[in-house]
Amino acid sequence: MELSHSHIGMVVSYPCEIRGGKYISCGKNTFLGPNGILSAWDSFQGEKYKPKITIGDNVTIGMNFHISAINRISIGDNVLTGKGITIIDNGHGKTTLEDLQIAPKSRKLFVYGSVSIGKNVWIGDKVTIVGNVNIGEGAVIGSNSVVTKDVPPFSVCGGVPAKIIKQL
């Protein structure tokens, strides 16, 4: 799958699944680990979306990742992630009684909001980041955390849900 924009030095490990490449751009010296899924969905269940995934320069995303957008995901320069991370800006339906009576794969996608990850961020193994979140420059996200709220620049957070542990 061809990406909308990629630079010299980009490495996509095999196997890696890329969907909606025309909505994805990657900077120079970007590394995507094996067994990852990078997807930008422009339609689902008859609904249309305008996804955009932007990955900066010198980004390393560990193996077994899942990044999925129907809205916007932006990953800044020099971001490093561990293995098994998930970054999503959408979900299968809302938690209303009406939606919960429909099989999850048949529900309309719900946009949480955009995800923005600043430069020089370190994201540990098995972190999940859901939409409507901004992670500031230089932040550190501890392994196994679930990020549901903004993380200030130059802070350390962790837990489920992630909480600020230290701020510089």
Look at the chain and report how many structural domains it folds into.
Answer: 1
Query: CATH no. for residue 127?
Result: 2.160.10.10
Whether 6 is in a domain gets the answer no
Domain range holding 114?
A: 11-167
- pLDDT score at 15: 87
Whether 92 is in a domain gets the answer yes
| Pair of tokens at residue 134 | 């901004």
Q: Give catalytic residues, as residue numbers.
A: 92
| Rounded CA separation 56/28 (Å) | 7
Whether residue 127 contacts residue 121, with contact meaning beta carbons closer than 8 Å, is answered with no
Whether 93 is in a domain gets the answer yes
Length, in residues, of the chain: 168
Q: Tally Cβ neighbours within 10 Å of residue 25.
A: 17
- pLDDT score at 7: 54
Q: Provide Rg for the chain, Cα atoms.
A: 16
Whether 163 is in a domain gets the answer yes
Whether 2 is in a domain gets the answer no
Per-residue pLDDT of the chain (168 residues; tens, 9 = 90+): 455 555 556 667 778 899 999 999 999 999 999 999 999 999 998 899 999 999 999 999 999 999 999 999 999 999 999 999 999 999 988 888 998 999 998 988 989 899 999 999 999 999 999 989 999 999 999 999 999 999 999 999 999 999 999 998
Note if the pTM is more than 0.85.
yes
